[in-house]
Structure 1
Amino acid sequence: MSVLLPNLESPGSKQHLLLLQSSVAQSSLSLIRHVIKTNSSRGRRTLLFSFLYESENLVNKNAAQNVDVHNYLDRVPGYVDESSELGSKMLSTIKEVDTESLDVIIDCVDTLVENLGTISETYRFLNSILVYLSSRSKHSRLILHICAPSPILPLLVSTSFSPSLTQCIAHPPALLLHLAKEYLTYPPPQTPEAKFWGVFLPITERIRDSEQLVYGPEGEGSGSLGDVIIEIIIRGGSDYSGRRKATERHLEGWQVPQSTAVPLEQLDSLNSLWRRTVVTEANPDPTQNVSFNLQLTPSQQESRARVPLPYAHEGQTIQLQQGSILYDPDSADDIDDDDPDEDLDI
């Protein structure tokens, strides 16, 4: 059962923060498109604040119902003197919506930080939105898109900002291929989860290494446009059984053209992980790499074949021959009449 889709489409109780994390190596914007499209089809109200991306790239024309787009692309720090009014204006826009359930989407937190001026000011502003949405309805959400590494990211994932959190981190498929090739570590269940996460997490924290897999000499030069690996982190709140004891971490595939979550085994870019070929190696020859020659020449083989064997092979009979003792006495023999030498003739 997919873990990603329920948390994107129908959040659980008290899950008010959804953090979508991209990187230079892989984008997670397709998840925003899916959330907006799903909300529109279900009649759920959505507020989209665009700071970096054109709304046409995030909102499908056929799914523009119940979506209010507020464009702030023209707000360039240093050219606009209304940065102090930006936060209060956005918060007033959110409070004017009279529906019970509401999703507020900010397409780029890093650009918002530049517009507001400081990280602390951005933190306080986002926290005020989250507090308002939490008190408004148990199903209202603040959806933030951020590109790692970002100086504000550690603050947004902290429990002081929000006790509950759903974080979706996009990774390129090349990362799992790299783990399988260099570390012989395959995704669960082929590898125990403790071992896999022990290798996977330290490498993903080194964002430069992930970028090198995509933009390096053997990389494709851009993030995958078809398949994406999504790491899902769920903290707090309650699952569909009504309880959640600790932070959960999952790994799923995301097909961008179909806009759906699938198991990793169904991603075409990872087919090589499941088709591991068995390499058969011949037993080593003990006669190789010795300091002397163990092979006989043809003449040596013929000479060996002419040597009579002191035994008979199974199935062959031995022909018995009459034996004789020939004794020719000489002058040194003791001639005794009582024991004549002729007695020795047999």
Structure 2
Amino acid sequence: MSLFSSIINNPIGLKPHQPLIILQSSSAQTCYPILRNLISNFRPTTQTLLFCFLHPPSSLINVDEAPNIIAFDFTERIPGYDDPWCGPQDEVLARINSVPPGSLNVIIDSVDTLTSDLGTTSKTYKFIRTLLGLITTRSEPSILTLHVQPSPLLELLTQTSLSPTLIHLTAHPPAIITHIASAYLTHPPPVGPADKFWSIFIPFSERIHESERLVYGPEGNGTSAGAWVGKGTREFVVEVLVRGGGKRGVERTVEGWKGDVPCDLQALGSLKSIWTRRKTEEARPDPTQNISFNLNLTPSQERSRAQVPLPYAHEGNPVTTTGAILYDPDSADDIDDDDPDEDLDI
């Protein structure tokens, strides 16, 4: 089973336990299908609290089919319109503290809207830190899941000072993989070299405008990020980052999402062209084959060639630190020690 599939199918069963899961969307690609699938795979015996600030709970769960999930709809609470305005912090904390001891899953959709309600990034960060503290101090493994978009707060949430362990799932449009394969001739691992791919993919994906240009630009397919409402044949790419605790390092992969389940990248129809192109390049005939003479050298011929001295007249001569001019006279040069002006009466 792939790393991504193991996270989706059993997030609490990961070793070591990961109490913080961050799902990152962008204007070019949403990760809501991942969030819905993740919620549906939480154990029925585990209490789950869903706090919705952006989309109504009905877009994420079927309340009748999930008795272990309690949803709270904050989408209609808007600062400046509710009189008197009461922030959500106290109510969210009270709901979490009211859950009996045991495993608990807390989901917030979305942290960006929550930041808008609270007013500042610092207040939201302190609030998230408090929530994570309540999660990590419970007697049974529990999870705090946050849905975010690229923002200054995201940089704070991914720091080890908040949580040394982390699962960070980022949704990307398939156009990024296609562009890197075409422009940089680099395929994702294991087909291509991992070091080269990540050195290109990470900085490119962090430039949000590049993803938007690939999707909504003149050559993009214009797929809306809101297409998560329907299932069917939707496809996108998921960057999976797992940061462990202690001596465990960081594990990073890139996988696919098709329909409503994770899959291998090569199963995505939107990336079919890059694998076909690569197979064509690998099957291209060798121009040194089927010719009447041999262009290759045997090992003994290569050793003999390496022993041939290079034809440089001054090779091996020491070079002074003060500099010197070395000159090899041609056969037509008239060089002698006589004074060329000795016949002049000066």
Same fold (TM over 0.5): yes
Deviation at 1:119, TM superposition (A): 1.0
Deviation at 1:44, TM superposition (A): 2.3
Deviations 1:264-302 (A, max 9, x none): 11111111121122486999xxxxxxxxxxxxxxxxxxx
The one-letter code of the counterpart of 2:129 is N
Q: Tell me, in whole angstroms, the C-alpha distance in 2 between the residues paired with 1:223 and 1:254.
A: 16
Check whether the contact 1:236–1:247 (CA below 8 A) recurs between aligned residues: yes
| Secondary structure, aligned partner of 2:133 | helix
The one-letter code of the counterpart of 2:241 is I
Check whether the contact 2:189–2:197 (CA below 8 A) recurs between aligned residues: yes
Check whether the contact 2:46–2:68 (CA below 8 A) recurs between aligned residues: yes
After superposition, the Cα gap between the structure-2 partners of 1:282 and 1:126, relative to the gap in structure 1 and judged at 3 Å, is: closer
The one-letter code of the counterpart of 2:3 is V
Q: Tell me, in whole angstroms, the C-alpha distance in 1 between the residues paired with 2:28 and 2:57.
A: 22
Residue 39 of structure 1: aligned partner: 42
After superposition, the Cα gap between the structure-2 partners of 1:228 and 1:177, relative to the gap in structure 1 and judged at 3 Å, is: same
Deviation at 1:244, TM superposition (A): 5.7
> Counterparts in 2 of 1:1-346, with a 5 A limit?
1-8=1-8, 9-11=10-12, 12=14, 13-39=16-42, 42-60=44-62, 63-80=65-82, 85-148=87-150, 150-223=151-224, 226-237=234-245, 245-255=248-258, 257=259, 259-276=260-277, 277-278=280-281
The one-letter code of the counterpart of 1:163 is P
The structure with more radius of gyration: 1
Check whether the contact 1:84–1:116 (CA below 8 A) recurs between aligned residues: no
The one-letter code of the counterpart of 2:218 is P
After superposition, the Cα gap between the structure-2 partners of 1:183 and 1:72, relative to the gap in structure 1 and judged at 3 Å, is: same
Q: Tell me, in whole angstroms, the C-alpha distance in 2 between the residues paired with 1:138 and 1:213.
A: 44
Check whether the contact 1:36–1:63 (CA below 8 A) recurs between aligned residues: no
| Secondary structure, aligned partner of 1:275 | helix
Q: Tell me, in whole angstroms, the C-alpha distance in 2 between the residues paired with 1:60 and 1:84.
A: 28
After superposition, the Cα gap between the structure-2 partners of 1:91 and 1:227, relative to the gap in structure 1 and judged at 3 Å, is: same
Q: Tell me, in whole angstroms, the C-alpha distance in 1 between the residues paired with 2:238 and 2:40.
A: 19
Q: Tell me, in whole angstroms, the C-alpha distance in 1 between the residues paired with 2:286 and 2:103.
A: 67
Check whether the contact 2:101–2:138 (CA below 8 A) recurs between aligned residues: no
The one-letter code of the counterpart of 1:97 is V
Deviation at 1:79, TM superposition (A): 2.2
The TM-score normalised by the length of structure 2 is 0.74
Deviation at 1:187, TM superposition (A): 1.0
The one-letter code of the counterpart of 2:242 is I
Deviation at 1:201, TM superposition (A): 0.7
The one-letter code of the counterpart of 1:20 is L
| Secondary structure, aligned partner of 2:42 | helix
After superposition, the Cα gap between the structure-2 partners of 1:52 and 1:85, relative to the gap in structure 1 and judged at 3 Å, is: closer
After superposition, the Cα gap between the structure-2 partners of 1:182 and 1:98, relative to the gap in structure 1 and judged at 3 Å, is: same
After superposition, the Cα gap between the structure-2 partners of 1:15 and 1:181, relative to the gap in structure 1 and judged at 3 Å, is: same
Deviations 1:183-215 (A, max 9, x none): 111111221100110111110111100110000
After superposition, the Cα gap between the structure-2 partners of 1:139 and 1:184, relative to the gap in structure 1 and judged at 3 Å, is: same
Check whether the contact 2:52–2:72 (CA below 8 A) recurs between aligned residues: yes
| Secondary structure, aligned partner of 1:168 | strand
Q: State the superposition RMSD in angstroms.
A: 2.2
Deviation at 1:103, TM superposition (A): 0.8
Check whether the contact 1:27–1:223 (CA below 8 A) recurs between aligned residues: no
Which stretch of structure 1 is more off in the superposition, 207-216 or 5-14? 5-14
The one-letter code of the counterpart of 2:238 is I
The TM-score normalised by the length of structure 1 is 0.74
Deviation at 1:109, TM superposition (A): 0.4
5+ unaligned residues in a row in structure 2: which ranges? 228-233, 288-346
Q: Tell me, in whole angstroms, the C-alpha distance in 2 between the residues paired with 1:62 and 1:272.
A: 42
Check whether the contact 1:33–1:58 (CA below 8 A) recurs between aligned residues: yes
Q: Tell me, in whole angstroms, the C-alpha distance in 1 between the residues paired with 2:47 and 2:75.
A: 22
Deviation at 1:222, TM superposition (A): 2.0
Residue 344 of structure 1: aligned partner: none
The one-letter code of the counterpart of 1:6 is S
Q: Tell me, in whole angstroms, the C-alpha distance in 2 between the residues paired with 1:69 and 1:39.
A: 14
Deviations 1:121-170 (A, max 9, x none): 1111110110011000452011000012x121111001111111100000
Q: Tell me, in whole angstroms, the C-alpha distance in 2 between the residues paired with 1:232 and 1:207.
A: 18
The one-letter code of the counterpart of 2:255 is E
The one-letter code of the counterpart of 2:163 is S
